[in-house]
Structure 1
């Protein structure tokens, strides 16, 4: 049989079953079952199109970042809050268009199947190692942040039921540690799944959950506003001398910007989404349109969450508007929203951690190629389910990782500061720096030309903003640690 890849290169293959790289023709696959889900819901007749790419972007963007937007707007106010969120959306969209042009190699025209592959082939080894550092640090931060958020949500379910039974004046306090341990046990089990291909169902469930709790939050806020419940708000947000000191105001604004950056942290999957598109029309043209559609819809969604949440809670908005208990009734809906958050984060944790697991296990296999404990897979038949391939390295490494992340979360259970830190730390390198640097190489932009200067200026401005937001989040963590007793987090 002939090789379809060779035939394509020679221009002799007339079949429509393969793309130009010899792989089966793209039909829009991404995270396993997403396309099938979208086809069922929206009755789309084809895959790998503008519509499917836009849907993938929306699914990738909307997540737990929406929970902190009411607090973030409260720190900045009615004018600057929406404006800053809008600026983040514009910058993210602009850099996503640059990234779309980097899908194919600037010289050979070969496809880049992943973000990491694009950086490595375009920028080389040194910058690729910087990318790896940024990505893996982000994975670790996300693991800790998700553990904290999920435990708060599980505690909120218990508190919602308690408030309904005992009244809104009751304390209904509960320790968060047991919920962090419960979340950690769930991740210990799921982390033994070998790779991404086993996570497709988990990814679909996580996506549905993220939309579920977001819509519940917006709906509850709108219901409160219609009912005449309004918080104390102002054009400049929390007021100096009334709510906070001047120093606290400045630090909170910077942390809020980190929270907003976290809400737009999706650039690392854009190349993967672009790789789902059909060959014609050109992938970069379709991807630019999809990025615009996706970001417009998600920004509208974010503005609804942030502004309606601020309108209801005002300057007293909590860091997570679904666990801060500005809402009490209907208690079952509050509990359902928090269940959705916890279930979403159970799946999202694994999606973020699998690349880190793969990196560690691949490096171990390269370092000790003859070690049977690392290489050997032991098939274990699970009654009524399937055959599970047990591996000692996978068990030990992933258990150590999950246990370590859980312990750190119990030591530093500070939601907004962690979200702000993750967002600020990852936003510049992954969303700004690498897309700009790759585009400069790809488009062969002359050094010190006006276009080169403007792109570099954008990168440096975003770097300064990110560094300030990182400093604010670290400062918040330090301040909270000094007044917090380890392993005694209470909701």
Structure 2
């Protein structure tokens, strides 16, 4: 076929040689330049995916995070994280294609990008961190969804009993309910087939964020003053050691609220071209970061203004369970719907990685590769893969059980943010950019990039320490499967 032949995978089992020159002269309306089905994503679907991933349960802990840091450091740290996330996203978007931004070989996943630009052991390290982080996000979202479902049940319990019933309950049944729903939705075969779920989830995220913001404004109006202080929760309300650990944990909570780099390449792989995928993704990242930062600043700051130093770990639980209880129910229901979609946005890359790896390793195994056509009325034929059914079901069950063992929302959020922030959001994008652009060592640009990386590493270590300390304290009073709230 010649030196310019590209080897592209048309499905899991067949590999063909296709000439890039011939393909460019005879483009197909149904097939992309790599032989895969035509990508149809736009700046708006990409923005919806990002907003679904970013505006998640993390927004609920921002008022608490600002309460630990105060009016000066809290908003400043949020703006700093938004700048870092956007800057490294720009670097990462350029890593989707190798050598040429339009005709270069595609990297389908984050790990593919690391393999193309860095190679070696860094690929395995990246894959381990990325997929462990995705597992952690699934656990965090299961916990957050159960909290919102319990909040709906408890608010109605309080309303019906006239506040006489303490309405204590276990989170376990609600985690199981969430897990069953995710088992069903996880059977959607590919990432690009859940665009509708992302749009629904994005709408839900705006719904509960807006309700939280509105209730915060209303609470400030009732208080007739802005609560809080310049330096956050004071020594006396907490010990000096607790103040330090909580401040560190707040960094992890904010990092988690902004974390989406781990699936940016996967989102970019759904975008059509022209224009180049990198150009579309950079615009989508800018739109998403501006929108989410505005929401985060409003929700976090108004939540802190409403509650001051006693801002709750979950903003919506701080308004009580009385009036307007129906509005809080709507907000919590929106959170559940959003987390249902966000769970899939984060887990689909992990699902695809395991299934493609298994298919490559055992190409003739019927259990792994055989599909069964099932006719679904109104939806057409569904290709049921037995391995996909078994593995994805086992994954959801495992994450649900872990969530039931460690139902600590704030601390888990902080650990996830700390664990994934530096390596996946900062280190690898910077190192890939340096390798791709051949930035000279010890040049001004190289030094600035390394200083940014080191600074973010220090923040991640501090955030992890604070969150682990919080988990240790929680475990002293918690009994697995028995403690009720």
User: What is aligned with 1:68?
Assistant: 61
Residues 89 and 295, structure 1, Cα contact 8 Å, conserved in 2:
yes
Give 3-state SS (helix, strand or coil) of 1:77's partner: helix
Query: What CA distance in whole angstroms lies between the structure 2 residues aligned with 1:413 and 1:195?
Result: 30
Determine whether 1:393 maps to 2:387.
Answer: yes
Determine whether 1:443 maps to 2:437.
Answer: yes
Q: Deviations over 1:92-138 (max 9, x none)?
A: 12212222333332378444444333222111142222221111111
Alignment of 1:161-180 (within 5 A): 161-168=156-163, 170-180=165-175
Q: Deviations over 1:327-383 (max 9, x none)?
A: 632111101111111111122212222222233333333444443333333334445
The Cα of 1:483 is off from its aligned counterpart by 1.7
Distance 1:188 1:112, change over 3 A: closer
Query: What CA distance in whole angstroms lies between the structure 2 residues aligned with 1:229 and 1:133?
Result: 50
Q: 2:96 aligns with which of 103, 111, 114?
A: 103
Residues 72 and 256, structure 1, Cα contact 8 Å, conserved in 2:
yes
Q: Deviations over 1:161-190 (max 9, x none)?
A: 122233457522222111111112222222
Distance 1:164 1:188, change over 3 A: same
User: What is aligned with 1:195?
Assistant: 190
Determine whether 1:9 maps to 2:21.
Answer: yes
User: What is aligned with 2:258?
Assistant: 264
User: What is aligned with 1:291?
Assistant: 285
TM-score by length of 1: 0.86
User: What is aligned with 1:150?
Assistant: 145
Alignment of 1:397-416 (within 5 A): 397-416=391-410
TM-score by length of 2: 0.87
Distance 1:9 1:22, change over 3 A: farther
Distance 1:125 1:16, change over 3 A: same
Determine whether 1:362 maps to 2:341.
Answer: no
Residues 440 and 446, structure 2, Cα contact 8 Å, conserved in 1:
yes
Determine whether 1:431 maps to 2:443.
Answer: no
Determine whether 1:223 maps to 2:218.
Answer: yes
Q: Deviations over 1:277-306 (max 9, x none)?
A: 6434x6545644543343223211110010
The Cα of 1:462 is off from its aligned counterpart by 0.7
Query: What CA distance in whole angstroms lies between the structure 2 residues aligned with 1:319 and 1:313?
Result: 11
Determine whether 1:141 maps to 2:136.
Answer: yes
The Cα of 1:214 is off from its aligned counterpart by 0.9
Alignment of 1:23-38 (within 5 A): 29-30=40-41
User: What is aligned with 1:252?
Assistant: 246
Query: What CA distance in whole angstroms lies between the structure 1 residues aligned with 2:380 and 2:459?
Result: 50
Query: What CA distance in whole angstroms lies between the structure 1 residues aligned with 2:358 and 2:351?
Result: 11
Q: Deviations over 1:384-430 (max 9, x none)?
A: 65444444323332232222211111111000011111111111112
Query: What CA distance in whole angstroms lies between the structure 2 residues aligned with 1:391 and 1:184?
Result: 20
Query: What CA distance in whole angstroms lies between the structure 2 residues aligned with 1:240 and 1:133?
Result: 40
Structure 2: 5+ residue stretches without partners:
7-17
The Cα of 1:80 is off from its aligned counterpart by 0.7
> Which 10-residue stretch deviates more, 160-169 or 332-341?
160-169
Determine whether 1:118 maps to 2:118.
Answer: no
Residues 422 and 456, structure 2, Cα contact 8 Å, conserved in 1:
yes
Q: Deviations over 1:419-449 (max 9, x none)?
A: 1111111111121011101110111111122
Distance 1:330 1:189, change over 3 A: same
- Count of matched residue pairs: 468
Query: What CA distance in whole angstroms lies between the structure 1 residues aligned with 2:284 and 2:341?
Result: 25
Q: Deviations over 1:197-244 (max 9, x none)?
A: 443332222222111111111111112222336675221111111x21
Residues 216 and 302, structure 2, Cα contact 8 Å, conserved in 1:
yes
